[in-house]
Amino acid sequence: MNILLIEPYFTGSHRAWAIGYAAHSRHEVRLVSHPGRWWKWRMRGSALTLARSLAELDGWQPDLIVVSDMVDLAQFRSFARPFVGEIPTILYFHESQLTYPSAEGNEPDLSYALTNWLSACAADRVLFNSGYHLDVFFQALPLLLRNFPDLTHEHLIGEVAARSEVLPVGVDLSWIEERGARNDIARILWNHRWDHDKDPDSFADGIERLVEARLDFELVLLGSRPPHPPPALTRIRAVAGDRIAHDGEAPLDLYRHLVSRCDVVASTALQEFFGVSVVEAVAAGCRPVLPDALAYPWLIPDSFHDAVLYEDGRLVEGLIQALADPVPPAGLSSSMARYSWDRLAGIYDERLSAIATRSDIAGPASG
């Protein structure tokens, strides 16, 4: 089967997902992408340029099209029709704008959330990267649509939900090795973006508390960051000083090397729809300290919740407990294999084959 995978935001986890599936699928998967920058413009304008690029397929005909949530799918299907005709199309949600927290002082722009909704209406099948994501998307839809004056589409929510399902992100865990000796001083890992939705300020608060308590630990600070250091990073550098073993983005090989030599991975996210960085760190042997919220209770097996999820306001307590015993509960690290491409690629292939043959498609929302 021929699969055309469209990703206009080709960077980070979006890029890894697209390349990972193409590399592990038994089908022929061709990628069409744009550079991963200016996400608002990608949602506004990429449908046209992506569709026009299909003229370069030179007669290669896909049986199925998969697009990410950064595409305005309703527009894309219209623009792409002269090149590929009417082909079953899947929309894959890595994230959605319906529940994404706005930066302080910014009013949310509902047009991007509306694009997500209209794209879902235009899709033959809608896939979400976690059960949490699927749930909050459909919980938020009535609130979104009631912002508009009339004919608000609410009667279509159930129809779209009926053709939606969960298919987790595949993660490359082939580099994971059996954990050797632990560090003499436990290393705390931050491997998330330094953006407001990851709430690095709360992480900085926690590190300041640990320093004040004179606890022994080191820090590995990874993750993309803006050109000018965010205030949270500046605070951490000021208080942690020589406790910082690494500070900066890292190429993939170095990133994996550093993650595999950390002991504790922490998150203070305000929004997380899946958590690839956490899966990688936990699989590599880190003990997680995660909010008991967002996608984390879905991501982590139920039997480990009490040990690794913290209630709101109790980050420091969770970090202190992890520093005292940085070895993760038995079986937690290996449980992350459920998200490896070795396990998921075959599941993707079977589901996409069924969708391509229209054996389980009811059709896009029609009115």
Domain definitions of the chain by residue range: 2-171+340-356, 187-339
Question: Residue type for 250, please?
Answer: A
Mean pLDDT of 331-356: 96
Q: CB atoms < 10 A from the CB of 28, how many? A: 13
Q: Output the average pLDDT for the chain.
A: 93
Check pLDDT > 70 for residue 364. no
**pLDDT at position 24, please?**
97
State the first-to-last Cα distance of the chain, in angstroms, to the nearest integer.
31
The secondary element (H helix, E strand) that includes residue 276 is: helix 276-283
Mean pLDDT of 240-256: 96
What's the CA gap between 247 and 238, in Å, rounded?
13
Q: CB atoms < 10 A from the CB of 278, how many? A: 25
Chain mean position to CA 103: 19
Mean pLDDT of 331-351: 97
Chain mean position to CA 203: 20
Q: What is the pLDDT of residues 101-143, one digit of tens each?
A: 766 656 778 999 999 999 999 999 999 999 999 999 999 999 9
- Tell me which of 97-101, 125-129, 172-176, 243-247 is least confident: 97-101
Mean pLDDT of 270-277: 96
pTM over 0.85: yes
Q: Comparing 2-171+340-356 with 187-339, is the CATH topology the same?
A: yes
Check pLDDT > 80 for residue 358. no
Beta bridge partners of 5: 31, 66
Which of the four CATH numbers 3.90.650.10, 3.40.50.2000, 3.10.20.90, 3.40.50.1820 does domain 2-171+340-356 have?
A: 3.40.50.2000
**pLDDT at position 100, please?**
79
H-helix segments, 85-181:
110-122, 131-145, 157-162
Q: What is the pLDDT of residues 178-232, one digit of tens each?
A: 887 889 999 999 999 999 999 999 999 999 999 999 999 999 999 999 888 899 9
What's the CA gap between 7 and 54, in Å, rounded?
13
Q: Are 286 and 263 in contact, with CB atoms under 8 Å apart? A: yes
Q: What is the pLDDT of residues 51-102, one digit of tens each?
A: 999 988 888 899 999 999 999 999 999 999 988 888 999 999 999 998 877 6
pLDDT-derived band at 245 (thresholds 50, 70, 90) equals very high
**pLDDT at position 360, please?**
57
**pLDDT at position 365, please?**
60
**pLDDT at position 105, please?**
59
**pLDDT at position 82, please?**
86
Mean pLDDT of 322-326: 96
Report the percent of the chain where pLDDT is more than 70: 96
**pLDDT at position 85, please?**
85
Q: What is the DSSP letter of 47?
A: H
187-339 belongs to CATH 3.40.50.2000: yes
Structure tokens belonging to residue 56: 């370069």
Mean pLDDT of 290-311: 98
